């Protein structure tokens, strides 16, 4: 949440430390905007822009700020822009101010305003028909929310299957490039493995973000469901949440989001380890020697006359056996 901090210049450091302590203690993610009013030519314009873009305005040490015309001008501007103002005392903010800031962070007031109609609570006789109609409408909306939460679980499973298949395919391509590239130069192999590894790591990052956002969306849906159950006779999901220890006892229940977050991290570590191992093999002597494949030996063509004259050829043996030995007359 973006907050604009109104303070005196001398208490700037104390204001930052106090807000950071509150954010750490409550688990709030606060992005502070602070201005230096010593620049008279720009600070009013910048203050108007940043107050307008902020969700909450924090006044640190309001008693001290009332002695500064610049701080008073900023407080009045925040009121004109209808920004919620939280006053932090010096040196430690009050518990009431911390609770107010936390309520603004969770948008509790705006959330409750969406359930302003109380169904079935002490209606008059003339309003009984309207209350019954409103009750049926609430039940139908309740069914829609429950069905959408179940569809969300199915989408999460489909997303997980997609990313597992995509990342596994990239790892397989990198392995194939390494395995079947024995006659390819090392530089070319590295050029192929690098982009595949980077693509797989980016997919893991996107996968992790989707899991986190699906978890937030699921929590928001069940917050609405539990609120709608306040208008029903039985609160089955609220009872189930209580039976599971409200998420505070891991031995009873551990959220799917907390478990699924380990999948992208595990895949990222595996991909990085395989990449380092592959580079080590190729650059530090572990890779097989890359020699060009020998060319197939061309057949030797021998002429027919030469083949006949060869002592080892079958034609020579046939010719030798067909010759008759010389007679005595011929010898004489």
Mean pLDDT by 10 residues, the chain (332 residues): 90 90 89 73 83 91 89 91 90 89 84 66 47 73 90 90 89 71 53 79 92 91 88 85 80 81 89 80 55 49 51 52 52 44
Predicted pLDDT at 285: 53
Closest C-alpha among 284, 283, 288, 272 to residue 171? 272
Read off the tokens for 229: 């159950």
Q: What angle do CA 226, 116, 239 make, to 5 degrees?
A: 15
What predicted TM-score, i.e. pTM, was given to this entire model?
Answer: 0.61
Transcribe 289-328 into DSSP letters. P--PPPPPPPPPP--HHHHHH-TTSHHHHHHHHHSPPP-H
φ/ψ of 289, rounded to 5, equals -65, 135
Ramachandran assignment for 220, one of left (phi > 0), alpha (psi -120 to 50 degrees), beta (any other): alpha
For residues 309, 311, 314, 320, the Cα torsion angle rounded to the nearest 10 degrees is 80
What local confidence, expressed as pLDDT, does residue 131 receive? 55
Do 103 and 95 meet the contact criterion of CB atoms below 8 Å apart? no
């Amino acid at each position: 949440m973006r907050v604009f901090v109104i303070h005196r210049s001398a208490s700037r450091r104390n204001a930052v430390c106090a807000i950071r302590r509150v954010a750490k203690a409550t688990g709030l993610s606060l992005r502070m905007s602070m201005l230096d009013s010593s620049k008279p030519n720009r600070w009013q314009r910048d203050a108007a822009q940043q107050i307008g873009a902020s969700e909450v305005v924090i006044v640190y040490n309001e008693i001290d700020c009332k002695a500064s015309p610049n701080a008073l001008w900023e407080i009045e501007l925040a009121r004109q822009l209808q920004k919620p103002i939280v006053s932090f005392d010096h040196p430690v903010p009050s518990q009431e101010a911390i609770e107010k800031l936390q309520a603004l962070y969770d948008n509790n007031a705006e959330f409750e305003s969406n359930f302003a109609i109380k169904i079935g609570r002490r209606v008059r006789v003339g309003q009984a028909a309207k209350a019954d109609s409103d009750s049926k409408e609430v039940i139908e909306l309740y069914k829609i929310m429950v069905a959408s939460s179940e569809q969300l679980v199915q989408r999460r499973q489909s997303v997980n299957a997609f990313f597992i298949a995509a990342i596994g395919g990239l790892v397989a391509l990198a392995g194939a490039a390494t395995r079947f590239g024995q006659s390819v130069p090392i530089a070319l192999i590295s050029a192929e493995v690098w982009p595949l590894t980077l693509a797989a790591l980016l997919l893991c990052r996107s996968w992790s973000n989707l899991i986190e956002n699906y978890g937030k969306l699921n929590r928001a849906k069940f917050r609405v469901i539990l609120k709608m159950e306040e208008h029903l006779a039985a609160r089955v999901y609220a009872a189930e949440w209580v039976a599971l220890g409200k998420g505070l006892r891991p031995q009873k229940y551990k959220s799917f989001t907390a478990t699924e977050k380990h999948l992208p991290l595990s895949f990222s570590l595996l991909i990085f380890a395989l990449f380092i191992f592959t580079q080590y093999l190729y650059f530090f002597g572990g890779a097989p020697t890359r020699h060009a494949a020998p060319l197939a030996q061309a057949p030797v063509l021998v002429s027919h006359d030469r083949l006949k004259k060869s002592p080892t050829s079958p034609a020579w043996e046939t010719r030798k056996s067909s010759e008759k030995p010389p007679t005595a007359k011929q010898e004489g």
